Structure 1
Amino acid sequence: MVDNIASTGPDTPAAGAGASPLLSVQDLRVSFRTPDGVVQAVRGVSFDVERGKTLAIVGESGSGKSVSTQTVVGLTRGAKVSGKALFEGRDLLTASKEELRRIRGAKIGMIFQDSQSSLHPYYRVGWQISEMIRAHNRKVSKAEARERSIELLRRVGIPKPDRRVDDFPHQFSGGMRQRAMIAMAMALDPVLLVADEPTTALDVTVQAQVLEVMADLQAEFGTALVLITHDLGVVADVADEVVVMYAGTVLERAPRRELFYHHHHPYTEGLLGSLPVETDMRRRLRPIAGSPPSLIRPPAGCPFHPRCPYAFDRCRTETPPPRQVDANENHQSACWLPLDAAGRDEARANIGTSTR
């Protein structure tokens, strides 16, 4: 899988280098009150999304990936939120409900994991797309919105869209429903598309088709994409930059090739080590030992230290800040291991020897 990573894309300068990012999330913190205590779902997350680029957010279930992006667009009711989420210079976290309604759909499109629950079962697919269009622009007639819906379904590869536009969601396959969700998300040509596990419930062939549709639309309209996933194979195919989350925090972020070939954090190493290797299908997969911590009572120090094979005393008491890796300003890791490759390898070897 890793050997198939293209050599172009993320290693080239970002479009509009030097300009401010389209979306800049800074020290985002999100918590929820529960009968058992306060869940610290997101704990100081920061990342940027450049115009026209793809940012992948990866991590195990419960790492805070979805909560982070849903909070940015105002979809986490009842949460205590702090930090900033600057979108085209406007802080979305302080925006009014009316402002967020105008931005969602028109400026920021959303694709959710479960297309069956995202599409209303009692309404035809084309009607739902049309209503979304007209909700943002009442000057568009029903006939015009219907024509736009047909064109969108055609663009995402739905066969015979002039007939399928009147079908109900249950008459679409899982892959076709996800395509319809992409069509709805792209209806108003948003500048940012947030896709939350858009291919999880699909088989491999359909997954590839859906990703291809998203890539084609992104190339055509220059849309930035935030892709939330736990599938590093998908990341290898589409991402420009990768953010690795764990226990509500960012442990590592880097350009795609840098992350796959020169990753620093032991958690990233564990994620990559758990992938099957096409050149050695007989190799045993290496799972990460243990389980993610409770976000009601997260551990002191590095959140990954209870599962980390290289943890030492400092990891258990001090939380490591994001630090620049190997003098690469685009690569940061929240880990106390040495930042240069030689020192890091030596430290890992010494720790491994001392624990045997």
Structure 2
Amino acid sequence: MALLEVRDLSVSFATPDGVVQAVRSLSFDVDRGTTLAIVGESGSGKSVATQTITGLTRGARVSGSARFDGVELIGASPKTLQGIRGAKIGMIFQDPLSSLHPYYTVGWQIVEMIRAHRPQTATATARARAAELLGLVGIPGAAKRLDDYPHQFSGGMRQRVMIAMAMALDPALLIADEPTTALDVTVQAQVLGVMQRLQEEFGTAIVLITHDLGVVAQMSDDVVVMYAGRAMERAPRRTLFYLPHNPYTRGLLASLPAQGGTRTRLTPIAGTPPSLIDPPEQCPFASRCPDVFDHCRHEVPRLDPVARDPRHTSACFLPKDGASLRPVPGAGRPATVRQEESA
């Protein structure tokens, strides 16, 4: 049994303009000690899906199932969710400056989080644990920096503080929502390295939400590609980069910059995503797809296995035999994937 099993998750919000169907029939599994990356352009439903799992989308209309370690999270009581969130499921949000309280020191905030879930822990013990965590994530002079405020840390350091806080109680699952956004390349590599090191040490499963395929290549074991609230393709990382099936996935890969090679211009995906207010019952990518045909405009494709591989599924009406799988011509691939190939 997987650590997290999500089945047919749908999330919608009532707005003055209509009902926004942010997530539609999303399913995925996360095994212990593995990393699942959820990718897609802005507005595809990545963050809403994971926030719903942890009970953070108040006022939303939710259906489906999300079982964490055998416990159903959808419809769970606030008390049940509070006991799981933070203690068993850690979360790293996109903007650490807005996630950390500006009026309290980082040490106080980590201690408070520990004692909120383990009230029997002495303050001195929790403070020592906080210093240990800051040291684990690579903050120099960790014991002294406990008394500093968030604004006294750089962006990369604040993100490390968030990772330390999320890992304080050794959660089984870590949800990282765009953890490297707005960080420069060097700091991004350091933050990802910290997450990988902690995963190796504690066996933590990670759900990584990102639009950066370079991060996906470095961190993930499996990938879910989302578009307009739906999962378009699911596959192991190498399969997705080298033999993608869905035209949307292929479009994402073709839009990557080529390194050392053949293309001088990026290949964008033409058009814009559909409105999620009363979306049409057709393939959500039909209006932008270069391979569209009549069937795509009248029915929503299911996620079916590609080349008889249950680990690789695609929501597309194109043939799913092995002959249909081919590399994306001229696509730039992140360096991590290329290095693995040469090895």
Report the TM-score range of the alignment, normalised by the length of the smaller protein: over 0.9
CA contact (8 A) 1:337 1:344 kept: no
Tell me the equivalent position of 1:288: 269
Is 1:202 the equivalent of 2:183? yes
Partner of 1:86: 67
Q: Distance in 1 between matches of 2:25 and 2:324?
A: 28
The residue number in structure 2 matching 1:302 is 283
- Partner residue, 2:260: 279
DSSP-derived class of the 1:193 partner: strand
2:78 counterpart residue number: 97
User: What pairs with 1:18-57 in structure 2 (closer than 5 Å)?
Assistant: 20-57=1-38
Task: Classify the secondary structure of the residue corresponding to 1:187.
Answer: coil
What is the Cα deviation at residue 340 of structure 1?
1.5
Shift of 1:281: 7.3
- Matching residue of 1:220: 201
CA contact (8 A) 1:153 1:161 kept: yes
Report the counterpart of residue 40 of structure 2 in structure 1.
59
In the alignment, structure 1 residue 263 sits paired with structure 2 residue 259? no
Question: Residues 7 and 28 of structure 2 are in contact (CA less than 8 Å); yes or no, is this contact kept in structure 1?
Answer: yes
What's the C-alpha RMSD, in Å, of the aligned pairs?
1.0
Q: 189-198 vs 336-345, which deviates more?
A: 336-345
- Write the mapping of 1:62-73 to structure 2, written as runs, cut at 5 A: 62-73=43-54
Query: In the TM superposition, what is the alpha-carbon distance from 1:327 to its structure 2 partner?
Result: 1.3
Q: Please list every run of 5 or more consecutive structure 1 residues that lacks an aligned counterpart in the other structure.
A: 1-19, 346-356
The unaligned stretches of length 5 or more in structure 2 are 327-343
Residue 36 of structure 2 aligns with an amino acid whose one-letter code is: L
> After the TM superposition, which segments of 4 or more aligned residues of structure 1 sit over 3 Å from their partners?
none
| 1:299 Cα offset (Å) | 2.8
User: Post-superposition shift, 1:283?
Assistant: 2.4
Aligned AA (2:59): G
CA drift of 1:270 comes to 0.5
1:10-25 mapped onto 2 (5 Å cutoff): 20-25=1-6
**1:254 equivalent among 205, 211, 235:** 235
After TM superposition, the structure 1 = structure 2 runs for residues 182-193 of structure 1, keeping only pairs within 5 Å, are: 182-193=163-174
Instruction: Please tell me whether the aligned partners of residues 243 and 325 of structure 2 are also in contact (alpha carbons under 8 angstroms).
Output: no
Q: Does 1:320 align with 2:301?
A: yes
Distance (whole Å) between structure 2 residues aligned to residue 170 and residue 58 of structure 1: 30
- Which deviates further from its counterpart, 195-204 or 297-306? 297-306
CA shift, 1:344, in A, is: 6.6
Distance in 2 between residues matched to 1:255 and 1:342, nearest whole Å:
19
Query: 1:211 corresponds to which residue?
Result: 192
Contact 1:247 1:303 in 2 (8 A): yes
User: 2:120 — aligned with what?
Assistant: 139
The answer to which of 289-298 and 38-47 deviates more is 289-298
Question: Distance between the aligned counterparts of 1:98 and 1:201, measured in 2?
Answer: 34
Contact 2:244–2:325 (Cα < 8 Å) also in 1: no
Residue-by-residue CA offset, 1:116-141 (whole Å, 9 max, x unaligned):
00000000001000000000011111
Given candidates 333, 338, 354, the residue that maps to 2:319 is: 338
- Residues 338 and 344 in structure 1, CA contact (< 8 A), matched pair in contact too: no
Aligned equivalent of 2:132, options 151, 158, 182: 151
Q: Report if aligned partners of 2:301, 2:316 keep a CA contact under 8 Å in 1.
A: yes
Post-superposition offset of 1:300: 2.8
Partner of 2:94: 113
Q: Shift of residue 279 of structure 1? A: 2.2
Q: Which residue in 1 is equivalent to 2:151?
A: 170
- Identical aligned pairs, as a percentage? 68
Paired AA for residue 174 in structure 1: G
Q: 1:343, CA displacement in angstroms?
A: 4.7
SS class of match (2:57) = coil
Q: How many residues align?
A: 326
Give, in whole Å, the separation in 2 of the partners of 1:326 and 1:183: 42
